[in-house]
C-alpha cells in the first residue's frame, strides 16, 4: 500500500501485534509511525483490556500478600555473610515434625554486649492473640544476655539485621525494621525480632532457596561491627533409631537403698553419653514427698567449651501393667550450666509404694528413658 505525505510517495508497511480482537469492545490500540529510509512504518498493537486487567489484578494481589507478611520489615539481598553470628540447621523438617517450640543459640558477642538468637521453627505468638501465627510462620528474635552486672536503668540501642541464606542465588536475604528505627533494649525489654519473619509454606518451598537438602542458615548482625567477630555454629538434628533410643534401668531391692542419689550406668544415644539420675526420697523442694528423676549428660565437665545438646525425651516408671506406667515427655537444652533435666516431683512416694500400682515388682524398681529427637550445636567451617 502507498500513501502520499507532503507530495512524497511512501510505501506503507503495517505490523499488527497480538490476536485479532478488534471486533471486541474492550480493546486498546497502540499506533506508532516511524520513517526509515523514506519508508513510513506504522506499528499497530492491539491488547485485550480484560487480559491487561487480569494481569494487573494478579500483580496487586501478589503485592498485597507480600505486604501483609513484611509490613514491618525491610527486606534486601546481599552477597556478604553476617558479620556477627550464623546458625546452620540440618534436618530442619525434624524440627517441624517434632513440633519443637524454640531453639536457643549459644551466646555470641557483638558491640561490647552478649546476645543470643531465639528461633521458633513453628512460629511464636508472644501476645497470645494470633493463634494462626503459630505453625504458619518462622519467628526469629535477638536476646541480650548476661545483664545482671549492668547498672540500674541501663539501656542499649542497636541496629539489628537478621539473615536467611538463599542457596539458589548464593546470597542472603536481610530483614530489618521497615522504618529504620533503632531497637532500645532495657531491663523490661530484652528481646526483639519478628513474629512473622517468613511464612513456613514459602520457606519450605524449594524455589525460595532458603531450605536446601533439608538444611538452612540463619544469621544476625547487631549494631556497628568494629572488627570481624563472627561465630558460626551448626545445629544438627537427628532422630535416633527406635532400636537404639531407649535405655531401661532396673534397681534391685529398692527398699534397701540408703543413698540419697543413684546414678545409672552410662549409655550412648547418638554421639552423646547419657545417664539417669534418681533420688529415691526426692530432691530439693520435693524431698521426702516424691521420687525425683532426671536425664543427665555424662561427664559434662570434660566436654569442649560452649557445648550444647538438645533432646526431646520421655521418662517412664514401669509398672507390672503397662497401662499403669508413668510417662512424662519433655525437652531441654543441655550445656555447661544445665547438664541434667527432669522432674523433682516425678511421682509421689505414697503412690510409688502403693502395692496396688505394682511399681515395686519383687522390690525391684524399673525406670526408662526414650530419646526421640536430638540436636547438637557445634562449630562449622
Range(s) of the domain holding residue 346: 246-379
How many CA atoms does the CB half-sphere of 249 hold within 13 Å?
23
Identify how many contiguous H helices and E strands the chain contains and give both numbers.
Answer: 4, 26
Residues 250 and 352 in one domain: yes
Q: Please check whether residue 86 lies inside any domain of the structure.
A: yes
Residues 94 and 163 in one domain: yes
DSSP class of residue 189 equals B
Domain final residue, candidates 201, 235, 269: 235
Residues 253 and 219 in one domain: no
Residues 158 and 100 in one domain: yes
- What's the angle, vertex CA 40, arms to CA 35 and CA 43, rounded to 5? 100
- Write down the pLDDT at residue 344: 96
Q: Please check whether residue 340 lies inside any domain of the structure.
A: yes
Residues 130 and 14 in one domain: no
- Write down the pLDDT at residue 309: 94
Instruction: Provide the whole-model pTM.
Output: 0.53
Residues 84 and 190 in one domain: yes
| Helix/strand/coil for 180 | coil
Residue 49: phi, psi to the nearest 5?
A: -65, -35
Domain count, the chain: 3
Helix, strand, coil percentages, rounded to 5, for the chain? 15, 50, 35
Residues of the chain with pLDDT under 70: 1-71, 128-135, 224-231, 380-381
Domain final residue, candidates 235, 268, 301: 235
CATH number at residue 323: 2.60.210.10
- Write down the pLDDT at residue 30: 47
- Write down the pLDDT at residue 210: 96
Domain final residue, candidates 45, 69, 93: 69
Q: Please check whether residue 240 lies inside any domain of the structure.
A: no
| Residues 343 and 289: beta-carbon distance below 8 Å | no
Residues 297 and 348 in one domain: yes
- Write down the pLDDT at residue 133: 55
Residues 254 and 230 in one domain: no
169: left (phi over 0), alpha (psi -120 to 50) or beta: alpha
Q: Please give the grid coordinates belonging to residue 217.
A: 542458615
Residues 186 and 259 in one domain: no
How many CA atoms does the CB half-sphere of 55 hold within 13 Å?
6
- Write down the pLDDT at residue 73: 86
Residues 319 and 174 in one domain: no
Residues 78 and 23 in one domain: no
Residues 81 and 176 in one domain: yes
Q: Please check whether residue 241 lies inside any domain of the structure.
A: no
Amino acid at each position: 500500500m502507498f500513501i502520499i505525505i507532503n507530495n512524497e510517495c511512501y510505501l506503507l508497511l503495517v505490523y499488527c501485534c497480538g490476536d485479532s480482537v478488534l471486533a471486541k469492545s474492550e480493546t486498546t490500540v497502540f499506533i506508532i509511525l516511524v520513517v526509515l529510509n523514506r519508508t513510513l512504518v506504522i506499528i499497530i498493537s492491539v491488547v485485550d483490556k480484560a487480559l491487561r486487567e487480569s494481569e494487573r489484578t494478579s500483580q496487586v494481589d501478589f503485592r498485597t500478600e507480600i505486604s501483609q507478611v513484611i509490613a514491618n520489615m525491610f527486606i534486601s539481598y546481599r552477597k556478604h555473610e553476617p558479620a556477627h553470628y550464623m546458625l546452620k540447621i540440618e534436618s530442619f523438617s525434624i524440627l517441624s515434625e517434632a513440633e519443637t517450640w524454640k531453639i536457643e543459640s549459644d551466646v555470641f558477642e557483638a558491640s561490647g554486649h552478649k546476645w543470643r538468637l531465639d528461633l521458633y521453627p513453628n512460629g511464636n505468638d508472644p501476645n497470645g492473640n494470633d493463634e494462626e501465627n503459630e505453625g504458619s510462620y518462622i519467628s526469629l528474635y535477638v536476646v541480650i544476655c548476661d545483664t545482671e552486672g549492668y547498672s540500674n536503668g541501663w539501656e542499649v540501642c542497636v541496629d539489628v539485621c537478621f539473615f536467611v541464606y538463599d542457596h539458589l542465588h548464593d546470597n542472603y536475604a536481610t530483614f530489618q525494621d521497615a522504618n529504620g528505627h533503632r531497637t532500645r533494649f532495657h531491663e523490661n525489654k530484652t528481646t526483639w525480632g519478628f513474629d512473622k519473619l517468613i511464612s513456613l509454606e514459602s520457606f519450605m518451598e524449594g524455589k525460595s532457596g532458603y531450605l536446601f537438602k533439608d538444611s538452612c542458615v540463619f544469621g544476625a548482625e547487631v549494631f556497628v561491627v568494629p572488627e570481624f567477630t563472627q561465630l558460626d555454629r551448626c545445629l544438627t538434628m537427628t532422630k535416633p533409631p527406635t532400636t537404639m533410643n531407649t535405655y531401661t534401668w532396673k534397681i534391685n531391692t529398692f527398699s534397701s537403698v540408703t543413698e540419697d542419689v543413684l546414678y545409672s550406668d552410662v549409655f550412648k544415644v547418638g554421639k552423646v553419653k547419657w545417664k539417669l539420675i534418681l533420688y529415691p526420697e526426692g530432691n530439693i523442694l520435693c524431698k521426702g514427698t516424691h521420687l525425683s528423676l532426671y536425664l543427665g549428660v555424662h561427664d559434662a565437665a570434660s566436654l569442649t567449651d560452649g557445648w550444647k545438646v538438645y533432646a526431646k525425651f520421655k521418662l517412664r516408671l514401669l509398672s507390672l501393667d503397662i497401662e499403669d506406667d508413668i510417662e512424662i515427655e519433655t525437652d531441654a537444652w543441655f550445656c555447661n550450666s544445665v547438664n541434667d533435666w527432669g522432674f523433682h516431683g516425678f511421682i509421689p512416694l505414697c503412690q510409688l509404694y502403693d502395692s496396688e500400682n505394682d511399681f515395686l515388682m519383687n522390690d525391684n524398681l524399673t525406670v526408662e528413658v526414650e530419646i526421640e529427637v536430638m540436636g547438637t550445636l557445634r562449630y562449622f567451617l
